[in-house]
Amino acid sequence: MQDRSPGPPRQGGGPEFRRDRAAGKPASPARRKTAAKTSRKTAPAAARGARIEVRDSRIHGRGVYAARDLHKGERIIQYTGRLISWKEADRLPPSDPNDPNHTFLFSLSDGKRVIDASVSRNAARWINHSCDPNCETEEDEKGRVFIEALRDIPRGEELHYDYCLVIDEKITKKLKREYRCHCGAAQCRGTMLALKEKKKKKKRKDH
């Protein structure tokens, strides 16, 4: 199975940055910004410097933390690696034989290309998933993917975004367990998979 979701699978730390080998395609490929909206918010001069640091995470394996206060809308880091096709990605061996559902692949919105961060020292691959994220992924018109702050993030807080993994098969309890989420958020859905919202049944009115 190959995961074609916009964010890496298995939580960053454990998987060494998320990318799963589940059969899926981007539920919401990194949101694409138009040229008119690509302006980057610049942090105050006094706050410039190292934005992030990588260390152990309570969520999973390694994680990425704010090394200073980050501001809403601030572009934090680019997700980099070699650009390959899904055909090439499908031929890649698991990055961790003991955790075959974990990879460092990030699918682009065209559904054809993937960023393989396994060959990169880029810290973005260690960012974990959360059902209540403080970051989001943005893809620009050149196909570059950036992680940006959804809100102000204080120094020392772990960074995370919603992987929203999409699998091309029926979502079962077994699959949910395989993609179990450990974010601990109050509204945690229990899985990194993107789940369909249940339609509310209309109440029948008595006449």
Residue 41 lies in a domain: yes
Name the pTM for this structure.
0.72
Q: How many domains does the chain have?
A: 1
User: What CATH number is given to the structural domain containing 155?
Assistant: 2.170.270.10
Provide the residue type at 52 as one letter.
Answer: I
**H helices, E strands: number in the chain:** 2, 11
Residue 191 lies in a domain: no
Structural domain that includes position 125: 31-178
Tabulate helix, strand, coil % of the chain (nearest 5): 10, 25, 65
Residue 49 lies in a domain: yes
Q: pLDDT per position in the chain (207 positions), as tens? A: 444 444 444 333 323 233 333 333 333 345 554 333 333 444 443 345 689 999 999 998 889 999 999 999 999 999 999 999 989 988 888 766 676 666 788 989 998 999 999 887 889 999 999 999 999 999 999 999 999 999 999 999 999 999 988 777 888 888 888 888 989 999 999 999 888 765 555 555 554
